[in-house]
Amino acid sequence: MFSSPQILMQRNRAMMDSNNLFFLKNAQHLPFIVTQGAKDPVVPPLHARLFQKTLKELGYQLKYREIADKKHWWNDPLVNGIGADAIDNQEIISFLKGKRLKRYPETLSIHLYDLSINDEFYWIRVLRQHKILDETTLEAKVQENKISLTTKNVAALKMDVDKQLVNSDEVLIEWNGETHRHRLTNGKRAIQLGNDDPERNHTIKKTDYTSLKSVFFKPFVIVYGTRGDDSMDQKLLNSARSIASRFWRVANGRTRILRDVDLDNTVIREFNLILLGSQYVNRVTQEIIRDIPVEIGSNRLKMNGRVYHGDVSLAMLYPNPLNPKKMIALFGGTSPDSELLSLYFLPIYSGSGTPDYIIFNHDVLKYAWGGVQAAGFFNHDWDFEK
């Protein structure tokens, strides 16, 4: 890698949700049956064997089936004349039918990271982290009417203290050494600890949009600029089509493409906006540019107190100033060339590592992340992380 450790750390933070081994502890109370083709060229047996080894070391319920001479998928022999043996084998079905989920286990050992992807296990939900996109762990143990909690990077949480878990209305909770006593009344069994709703200036919670790709996880419309000349307008339209095409191929989804002059209040109210072009080429960007934390000029970009000169591209997310319940993803630059290059880190692919914002120049074409000049995340209040 040609990039600095500080820049790569931001990339790795955005990618951590794809680290499956890190989250295996969360399956503490689940049964596993693994079926692997011994000659699979797509997902080699090495992967399944690694998971089998790790699960056994954790002491989890596991049945491993590695089928000789089979590749990634196989139908024969057909199960009941219709099912594929790869997934409908009677051994698999019988194994799963013989298991029952325990809804309220007395012990939990949980690893979390991106709360927009997963924040809840069984009877406990993490509402807020001290630091977004950082290692978050929770150990819980229930003994009679006492719940012991040991957590890391948890600022607020909520528990469903069902009578299957604690058969008492008097509940004693020890959280990281602090004691909390609760009396449950009127049949309500929910307990919240910590503050999930501090004073903030935006309606959208940061934990709902943890990196640039998250803007694409909810309905969005692509808005391309038409303030430039005919050639630039056409190039931005082509960029919009490339996003829509990739979204269709990767996510099996469709989206609309609008000119900036065609954006109306209905779209603003109902959709996230993918804005293509700075204020010099996109009328919507021109309308909101003073309300987002970036200044884009001719061959000059300023963000988080730092100025970047020359051909510089930007990709970023932020709450939409026109509708604080929705988001924007802005792709722009300080010159016509950098406007078009701004899609270089478009995060529509598995395992993408684009943070909340990323600033880069044409060196990315040769050095990839070595051409990144700045990258990072916003905090809970949509300010820059310190």
Q: Render pLDDT for 241-277 as a digit per residue (tens, 0 to 9).
A: 999 999 999 999 999 999 999 999 999 999 999 999 9
- Contact present, 345 and 329 (Cβ < 8 Å): no
- Confidence band for 200, pLDDT divided at 50, 70 and 90: low
pLDDT of residue 78: 85
Is the pLDDT score of 15 beyond 80? yes
What class does CATH assign to 206-376? alpha beta
| Token pair listed for 11 | 């990339």
For CA atoms 261, 266, 269, 275, the dihedral sign is: negative
331 closest CA partner among 384, 257, 287, 278: 278
**Residue 85 near residue 79 (C-beta atoms within 8 A):** yes
Whether residue 63 contacts residue 32, with contact meaning beta carbons closer than 8 Å, is answered with yes
Each residue's pLDDT tens digit, 303-358:
999 999 999 999 999 999 999 999 999 999 999 999 999 999 999 998 899 999 99
Q: How far apart are CA 119 and CA 210, in angstroms?
A: 13
Q: Per-residue pLDDT tens for 41-54? A: 999 999 999 999 99
Tokens for 302, please give them: 């300023």
8 A C-beta contact, residue 13 and residue 104: no
Token pair of 283 as six digits: 């009328």
Computed over every residue of the chain, the mean pLDDT equals 95
